[in-house]
Structure 1
């Protein structure tokens, strides 16, 4: 028999302006989600982003020296990126697109 795991959920209550609620409802509707699901996903995603941005990276002095050496090395051009940067924008007159 499989033991069931008790799932704990904690309510969060916030006050929002009518305009904020209307914007959230519009976005949730476009995603096909409820307001609560949309807000929960957005809050969790924002928290994950913040935590990843503030993550501490530890390395040995030798590893750091190697890391800095790689960062300081001259870069080699990527041919596809060079071609893309030299290409005219589609809205510019006389633009030719390569395919």
Structure 2
């Protein structure tokens, strides 16, 4: 007697303009994915982003107090960030000055 097999995949169908398909296909090719895989990954990533934006953050009263205390402290410079922001960009060398 044959067993019923439960399907794991659920079809999703969309009608898109040819220009949208061309963009999707180009991006999928650049990533080395099929159109289906590319669209699935992009849709899941977008859905996860939205869910994370709306997910409540829960913490204990003691945890919240510690969080507020950290936020209330004066800002401290991060040496690596200071150095990075003071570094000249590659196009800002002495040899490439623009005269006004």
Structure 1 residue 49: Cα displacement: 1.4
Equivalent positions of 1:12-91 (< 5 A) are 12-91=12-91
Query: Can you list the C-alpha shifts for 1:32-64, whole angstroms capped at 9, x where unaligned?
Result: 111111111111111111111211112233322
How big is each residue's C-alpha offset from its partner over 1:10-36, in whole Å with a ceiling of 9 and x where there is no partner? Answer: 111111111100000001111111111
Normalised by the size of structure 1, how large is the TM-score?
0.80
- CA distance in 1: counterparts of 2:80 and 2:94, whole angstroms: 21
Please report how far the alpha carbon of residue 7 of structure 1 lies from its aligned counterpart in structure 2 after TM superposition. Answer: 4.5
Q: Which residue of structure 2 lines up, in the alignment, with residue 92 of structure 1?
A: 92
Q: How many residues align?
A: 91
**Which structure 1 residue ranges, 4+ long, deviate > 6 Å from structure 2?**
none
What do the CA deviations read for 1:55-95 (whole angstroms, capped 9, x no partner)? Answer: 11122333222211101111221112111111222212428
Q: Unpaired runs of 5+ in structure 2?
A: 96-100
Question: RCO (CA 8 Å, sep 6+): is it higher in 1 or 2?
Answer: 2
User: What is the RMSD of the two structures over their aligned residues, measured on CA atoms?
Assistant: 1.9
